[in-house]
Each structure stands twice: as structure tokens, then as C-alpha cells.
Structure 1
Amino acid sequence: MNINGLTFVDDFIIFCNGSRDSVKETCNFLKHYEKVSGQSISREKTCFIVGKGASQTKVNMIARITRFTKGKLSLTYLGINVFKGAKSIFLFEDMISKIKEKVNDWSGKNLSYGGRLILVQTVLTSLPFLPHIMC
């Protein structure tokens, strides 16, 4: 089975077409992952997301097979909002406030311009950015 998705340590986003067989294969993959890794999938933190055109019957089928709750975009993955549609500044407010908070913490420190530049570069490169936004 080809698994399409994003992974980072123990955080997964898995994509499938929503057919009964695809959903069952994905669940079998997750069960196999639990067995091999010794980790458990957290049902409280796990959800599925369907497109706008998905029927209520499909949503019910996915919920019944996976036993996950239905989520919606935008969601946060590795601290970054994942969304569909036009970018809007409110989607990045959490990230911007975190950066501002870090910069404000440094305001009391006596760093040279070069020191501040290196500090900002270090923090920005340590933030997890997704290479692509879902479209």
C-alpha cells in the first residue's frame, strides 16, 4: 500500500481518497504501525477531514470505520496552520506572536546588532515550517 502523507517523529497527516477500501487500508496500516512501534494512536487527538463535497453517508462511513471524530481545516500541524484557500494574516498570528514574544524577551539583553541577527536567524530556522500548504 502506498501511504501519502507528512510525518515528523510521531505526528502524521495521512491522505486517502475516502473510499471504503482506502479507509480500511489506512486503518490497517495504523494498526500495523501500533503493533510494530509499540506506540498507540491517540483517538482523542486524531481526526479525519473530508472535502466540502463529501456526503453525510461518506462521513458516517469514515467515522464508523476509523472511530475518529470529524475535524475541519484549519488545523495545526507542528505548530503551523494547515489550511485550504487564500492565505490570510490571521492564520499566522500564533506564529507571529511567538516570534514577537521571543524578540521581546531579548530586549533586555545587551547584544550587538550581529548578535541579535544571529539570534533571530537561529530562532526562525528552528521553527517548523511545512513545505507546502494543502490546496
Structure 2
Amino acid sequence: MRTIQITTGGPSITHLAFADDMILFASGKPSDIRKVMKILTVYEDVSGQQVNKLKSCVAMAPKASVELIHRTRHLTGLHRKDWPIKCLGCPLFVGRMKIIYFSEMVHNITKRIHTWHARFLSKGGKIVLIKHVLLAMPVHLLAAMKPPKAPLSN
């Protein structure tokens, strides 16, 4: 199986593992895909753990051919996700970072505020919610990534 090199002179990698999440890199060749699936099967047999295929996906180049997409789906049983994919709550993307990658975080905070709007809360209650709930929501993402600057909109 070939390795992936993200940048010239960068390390050659085959996988990344974080806690119980894993990202495996492979070419689109059927033999490489079969090797990855064999490794996962051996892992399941040895560990007793099962790969959750509902939470697993395949991410391919945006211009991947329909044939490659169908063949990969057939060999893996996994659905395809478009970039950016998320790992541990952080968007993984190809190319430059875009403000849109952080829109889900902003949407979740806005949604939470709207659910509180209907409640009758004291000023102290609102402060507690903001300090302990809203501030905790983006901490992981913002600790791992620095969003690009964007103009404020009305």
C-alpha cells in the first residue's frame, strides 16, 4: 500500500489515529481498497470491536469519477462524504481554510440562543447559560483551529 504525502518534503503517512477515530489513506486502486478492508476485518477479529459503518465514510477528490465512486462503495460498503469531512468536531479540508467551515458552530450557538429566547430567565440565569453553555460549545474547535478573518455582516 502506498503512503500519502500532503506537502513536498512532508512526512509520508498511511493513517492518523485520534482516540477512537481513525483516518486511513489509500489510493483508489481496488487492490489498495481491499487491503484496507482486510486490515479492518483483522482488527475487528482481534479486538472484538466493530467498525461502525453508519458513522464511517469515504472521502474522495471532488472530481472523482462515477466509476471510482461506485467501485469504492461496492468494495467498502461505506457511503461517500464531500469535503470537508469532520474528525473529532474539526473540519478536515483540502485547500485553503474557508469561513463556511465554521458555519455549523455558529448555527448551533444561534439555535441554542433561540431555544432560550422563549424562556423567562433572570439576567443572572442568562449569564449562567452564556458562560457555561455557549462558551463551552466552540472551545474544542477554536483550540484546534484558528478561523480565517471574515467581514462582519448585519
Is 1:8 the counterpart of 2:23? The answer is no
Alignment match, 1:60: 70
Bigger relative contact order (CA 8 A; separation at least 6): 1
* Contact 2:59 2:85 survives alignment (8 Å): no
* Equivalent AA in structure 2 for residue 104 of structure 1: I
Q: CA RMSD in A?
A: 3.2
**Any gaps of 5 or more consecutive residues in structure 1?**
107-119, 131-135
Post-superposition CA distance 1:51-107 (Å, at most 9, x none): 1332211111111110111111111101101112221223134557889x999316x
* Equivalent AA in structure 1 for residue 44 of structure 2: E
| Secondary structure of the structure 1 residue equivalent to 2:86 | strand
**Any gaps of 5 or more consecutive residues in structure 2?**
4-12, 113-127, 146-154
Alignment match, 2:33: 23
Alignment match, 1:46: 56
Report how many aligned residue pairs link the two structures: 116
Is 1:104 the counterpart of 2:130? The answer is yes
Post-superposition CA distance 1:31-70 (Å, at most 9, x none): 0111111110111111111113322111111111101111
The whole-number CA distance in structure 2 between the counterparts of 1:128 and 1:14 is 24
Q: Which moved more, 1:84-93 or 1:16-25?
A: 84-93
* Equivalent AA in structure 1 for residue 130 of structure 2: N
Alignment match, 1:84: 94
Provide runs of 4+ in structure 1 moved above 6 Å. Answer: 96-99, 125-128
